[in-house]
Amino acid sequence: MKKTLYPKFILAYFIFGMFSFIIVTTFVPNMTREHLVRSKAETLYREASLISSTYASSLYASETDLETVKTHLDLLALHLDSTIRIINPSGRLVLDTDAPLDVDKEVMVEDFDPTAAGSSYYMVNDFFGNFGSDMLSVFFPITADYLVKGYVVIHCDMATIQQSCNSLLNISYITLAVLLLLSLIILIFFTEIVYVPLRKITYATEQYANGNMHYEFQVDSDDEIGYLAACLSYMASQIAGAEDDQKKFVANVSHDFRSPLTSIRGYLEAMLDGTIPPEMHEKYLNIVLNETERLTKLTNSLLSLNNLNTKGMLLDPTDFDINGIIRSTAAAFEGTCRAKTIAIEMILTGDKMYVHADMEKIQQVLYNLLDNAIKFSHHDSVIKVETSVKKSKLFVSVKDTGIGIPKEDLKLIWDRFYKSDLSRGRDKKGTGLGLSIVKEIINCHGEHINVISTVGVGSEFILSLPMSDRDDEED
Ligand code: ADP
Q: What is the pLDDT of residues 278-317, one digit of tens each?
A: 999 998 899 889 889 888 988 887 887 777 665 544 678 9
Ligand 1, atom 12, residue with closest C-alpha: 413
Please provide the distance, in angstroms rounded to a whole number, between the alpha carbons at the two ends of the chain.
Answer: 77
How far is it, in rounded angstroms, from Cα 233 to Cα 213? 9
Total Cβ atoms within 10 A of residue 100: 7
Contact present, 154 and 47 (Cβ < 8 Å): yes
Q: Is the pLDDT assigned to residue 64 strictly greater than 60?
A: yes
Measured in Å, residue 353 CA sits from the centre of ligand 1 at 28
How far is it, in rounded angstroms, from Cα 127 to Cα 131? 6
pTM of the predicted model as reported, rounded to 2 decimal places: 0.52
How far is it, in rounded angstroms, from Cα 343 to Cα 401? 11
* Closest ligand 1 atom number to CA of residue 420: 16
Q: What is the pLDDT of residues 195-229, one digit of tens each?
A: 899 999 999 999 999 988 889 888 888 889 999 99
* Distances 466 to 95, 125, 242, 290, 330 between C-alpha atoms, Å: 114, 100, 31, 38, 21
* Distances 31 to 42, 103, 158 between C-alpha atoms, Å: 16, 43, 15
What CATH architecture applies to the domain 318-474? Answer: 2-Layer Sandwich (3.30)
Compute the CA torsion angle 75, 79, 81, 84 (nearest 10 deg): -40
Q: Is the pLDDT assigned to residue 1 strictly greater than 80?
A: no
Query: What's the confidence (pLDDT) of residue 336?
Result: 86
Measured in Å, residue 283 CA sits from the centre of ligand 1 at 28
Q: Which distant-in-sequence residues (6+ apart) come within 8 Å of 17 by Cβ?
A: 180, 183
Q: What is the DSSP string of 187-246?
A: HHHHIIIIIHHHHHHHHHHHHHHTT-TT--------SHHHHHHHHHHHHHHHHHHHHHHH
Q: Is the pLDDT assigned to residue 177 strictly greater than 90?
A: yes
Query: What's the confidence (pLDDT) of residue 442?
Result: 92
Q: Is the pLDDT assigned to residue 261 strictly greater than 80?
A: yes
Q: Which residue has the higher pLDDT, 249 or 203?
A: 203
The DSSP code for 280 is: G
Measured in Å, residue 422 CA sits from the centre of ligand 1 at 9
Q: Domain 224-308 maps to which CATH number in 1.10.3430.10, 2.120.10.30, 3.30.420.40, 1.10.287.130?
A: 1.10.287.130
Query: What's the confidence (pLDDT) of residue 8?
Result: 86
Measured in Å, residue 379 CA sits from the centre of ligand 1 at 17
How far is it, in rounded angstroms, from Cα 167 to Cα 32? 11
Q: Is the pLDDT assigned to residue 142 strictly greater than 70?
A: yes
252, 405, 415, 455: residue to mutate for ligand 1 pocket, most atoms within 8 A of CB = 405
Measured in Å, residue 256 CA sits from the centre of ligand 1 at 16
Ligand 1, atom 4, residue with closest C-alpha: 430
Helix ranges (H only) for 61-157 are: 66-80
- Percent of the chain past pLDDT 70, that is, above it, reads 95
Helix axes 434-444, 359-375, angle to 10 degrees: 150
Ligand 1, atom 19, residue with closest C-alpha: 372
* Distances 16 to 9, 24, 186 between C-alpha atoms, Å: 10, 12, 13
Ligand 1, atom 21, residue with closest C-alpha: 372
Q: Is the pLDDT assigned to residue 59 strictly greater than 90?
A: no
CA-closest candidate to residue 368, choices 267, 300, 313: 300
Band the pLDDT of 356: cuts 50, 70, 90: very high
The secondary structure element, H or E, covering residue 141 is: strand 135-144
CA-closest candidate to residue 76, choices 128, 5, 154, 175: 154
Residues facing residue 400 across a β-bridge: 459
Query: What's the confidence (pLDDT) of residue 429?
Result: 63
Total Cβ atoms within 10 A of residue 198: 18
**CATH class of this structure's domain 5-164:** alpha beta
* Closest ligand 1 atom number to CA of residue 431: 2
Contact present, 238 and 230 (Cβ < 8 Å): no
Measured in Å, residue 372 CA sits from the centre of ligand 1 at 6
* Distances 27 to 31, 168, 174 between C-alpha atoms, Å: 6, 14, 16
Residues facing residue 466 across a β-bridge: 393
CA-closest candidate to residue 409, choices 384, 432, 443: 432
Ligand 1, atom 14, residue with closest C-alpha: 419
249, 333, 423: residue to mutate for ligand 1 pocket, most atoms within 8 A of CB = 423
Measured in Å, residue 413 CA sits from the centre of ligand 1 at 7
Measured in Å, residue 354 CA sits from the centre of ligand 1 at 28
Q: What are phi and psi of 147, to 5 degrees?
A: -120, 145
How far is it, in rounded angstroms, from Cα 365 to Cα 139? 110
CB neighbour class for 101 (10 Å; exposed up to 12, middle 13-18, buried from 19): middle
376, 399, 401, 433: residue to mutate for ligand 1 pocket, most atoms within 8 A of CB = 376
Q: What is the pLDDT of residues 26-52, one digit of tens each?
A: 999 999 999 999 999 999 999 999 999
Query: What's the confidence (pLDDT) of residue 103?
Result: 77
* Closest ligand 1 atom number to CA of residue 423: 16
Q: What is the pLDDT of residues 372-431, one digit of tens each?
A: 999 999 999 999 999 999 988 999 999 999 999 999 999 889 987 777 765 555 555 677
Helix ranges (H only) for 273-390 are: 281-308, 322-332, 334-340, 359-375
Strands 147-157 and 393-400: unpaired
Count CA atoms within 13 Å of residue 345 on its CB side. 9
* Closest ligand 1 atom number to CA of residue 416: 6
Query: What's the confidence (pLDDT) of residue 54?
Result: 92
249, 342, 372, 438: residue to mutate for ligand 1 pocket, most atoms within 8 A of CB = 372
Query: What residue spans define the domains of the chain?
Result: 5-164, 224-308, 318-474
Indicate the length of the chain as a whole number: 475
CA R_g for the chain: 53
How far is it, in rounded angstroms, from Cα 177 to Cα 184? 10
Measured in Å, residue 257 CA sits from the centre of ligand 1 at 19
CB neighbour class for 406 (10 Å; exposed up to 12, middle 13-18, buried from 19): middle
The DSSP code for 378 is: P
Q: Which residues lie with the beta carbon below 6 Å from any ligand 1 atom?
A: 368, 372-373, 376, 400, 402-405, 413, 418-420, 423, 427, 430-436, 459
Query: What's the confidence (pLDDT) of residue 251?
Result: 78
How far is it, in rounded angstroms, from Cα 113 to Cα 85? 15
Q: Is the pLDDT assigned to residue 473 strictly greater than 50?
A: no
Q: Is the pLDDT assigned to residue 264 strictly greater than 50?
A: yes
